[in-house]
Amino acid sequence: MCFTRNPAAGGVGCSQGRNMRLPCSLLILACVLLTVTWTARAEIGATEAESGSQMENAAAGQPDTPHVEPGVSPRSNTPSEDPDSVHEEAGSQDTAAAKPPARVLTLEDAINLALEANRSILDAKDRVESARLSMVSAESEFELKLFPDASAGVTGGDDERTEESLGAGIAIQKKLAVGTVLTVQPNLEKDADTYRSSVDSTVSQPLLRGLSREFNLALVQGTEFDARTSQRSLYLTRVNTVISTVGAVYSVIGQREFVRLNRESASRLEGHAEAARVKEKFGLATPIDVYRAEIQMKQAEDSLATAREAYEDALDNLRLILALPIEEEIDVTAPLEYSIVRMDEPEALEMAFRNRVELRQAWDAVKDAERRSRVAKHRILPELNVVLSLSPFGESRDFEESLQMDNYFWGINLTSTTDLARTAERAAYDQSMLEVQSAYRNMTLRRDEVAREVKSALRNLIKAEQRIEIQKEQTRQSEGKLKLAQVKFKHGLADNFDLIEAEEELRRAQTNLISVVIDYIVGIYVFRASIGTLLEQPAEL
């Protein structure tokens, strides 16, 4: 059976014969197949065009593969124009009510806010103030002191007579750093009908224990050391807060970029899955191609959900560092460009040994331990004091005559109270010597730790710089592989396995590039902290 032209009818008819050139059934099948093929190609082309445009748009501008050159001025990685779009991407679409615009902070804004409001810094400031008050309390031992004194009473005996007594006075006392204690005490008393006036003056001077400025000023010098320690602790807290803030800001930016990359990847994979389903309808793809595309699409959607959750966690962490309300909407901007750091290891170590506050604190601790040891050794001496006294006085029934104080008495006394064995004091001195040795070991250890931190920070920068170049190259190769796989899949030269694999590799390369760039930027701050140049140091440190 075939279609042949009938000359008589001028049309097409069916006839049988040996000279037929094409079976009618094959001609019908060819026409149907041609129609189906063109229809399928039209639908698949439309689907792949949409997916391909998304891939090209993602590969074209490349915010995720920044071209970074040394010395280029930083360019801010700004959030989207709609303040709520980032939070919608992070899963904040559930709230029906309109939200106020998010508070956008630059990196500098975030650092300044953290230095003002961070709770750890506020606690460190309180410790500084507490140390200052302790120093004021210790110094009060050597200020001029006034001790008012007053008495009133009644006395009686068997004869049923009673006598009233009144008295008033004030003691003025001053202690000197060499241990001398000066006391002057005017007194006025009235006993029955007699007035008594006197001025008692005493000078007490230690001869053995206490005849030392360092011993007498031990408490003051101890509080001064505590004050210096609290000041250095405040500075180090500020440094650590800056590093934490920078890390938190770039964590937000990184997670926001991961959300964008995963969203774009999920959208492209959804296009691949739709194309595979259309091809399957016309027999141009197998069910395994559809399953493969849909599985990868679901994995991309899961990665997107995870990235959104991590983005919100990063924002919450930043709010805690900045002491902001946890419900306040915020966003951040910071440059994703950087300058390459070049410094030799010996130069970095020399700067660290010269600038690091921890080393000055360790040396200060050694000197304080030696001071306390000398004080403990001095405390072994027995107590022996000489007391000089002079007291002019007057006594009369007439008040004015009693004020003339025509009489006086004086005295010179040696006083001593001591334990001859001095066991406790000797044990305390031995303990102080152990503390001195420990302080020297801690100073050596701290110096080694500083050197290790500098070397580690410098190595991390070098490694991150190398990884950036590797990830840039991997990103370029992944883009090329994805374009090639898309072309081959579009023209039916390959299934979607290579396409999906290339899509996954591109997303992984872009994510790794952003991560390593952020690691390098944060690493610069860590390196500057390791050599002691991140923040300007106050003169008192």
Domain spans in the chain, listed from the N-terminal domain onward: 2-49, 50-102+229-374+426-530
Domain 50-102+229-374+426-530 -> CATH class? mainly alpha
**Tens digit of pLDDT per residue, the chain (541 long)?**
343 333 333 333 433 444 444 444 444 444 444 444 444 454 445 444 444 444 444 444 343 333 333 333 333 444 443 434 444 444 444 444 456 788 999 999 999 999 999 999 999 999 999 999 999 999 999 999 999 999 888 877 766 677 788 999 999 999 999 999 999 999 999 887 888 999 999 999 999 999 999 999 999 999 999 999 999 999 999 999 999 999 999 999 999 999 999 899 888 888 878 888 887 887 777 888 888 888 888 888 998 999 999 999 999 999 999 999 999 999 999 999 999 999 999 999 999 999 999 999 999 999 999 999 999 999 999 999 999 999 999 988 888 888 888 888 999 999 988 888 889 999 999 999 999 999 999 999 999 999 999 999 999 999 999 999 999 999 999 999 989 988 887 787 777 788 888 888 998 999 999 999 999 999 999 999 999 999 999 988 8
Let me know how many helices (H) and strands (E) the chain has, helices first.
12, 10
**Strand ranges inside 144-193, DSSP E:** 145-156, 162-175, 181-191
Q: Between the CA of residue 231 and those of 356, 363, 369, what are the distances in Å?
A: 14, 15, 19
Residue 410's beta-bridge partner residues? Answer: 390
The residues, ordered by sequence, that sit 6+ positions from 429 with a Cβ below 8 Å of its Cβ are: 373, 376, 377, 379, 380
- CA-wise closest residue to 258 among 507, 430, 462: 507
Q: Is 328 strand, coil or helix?
A: coil
Q: Letter for the amino acid at 537?
A: Q
Residue 82 corresponds to which tokens in the numbers above?
A: 């709609």
List strands edge to edge, sheet with 407-415. Answer: 145-156, 162-175, 181-191, 194-206, 385-396, 407-415
Cβ(157)–Cβ(362) below 8 Å = no
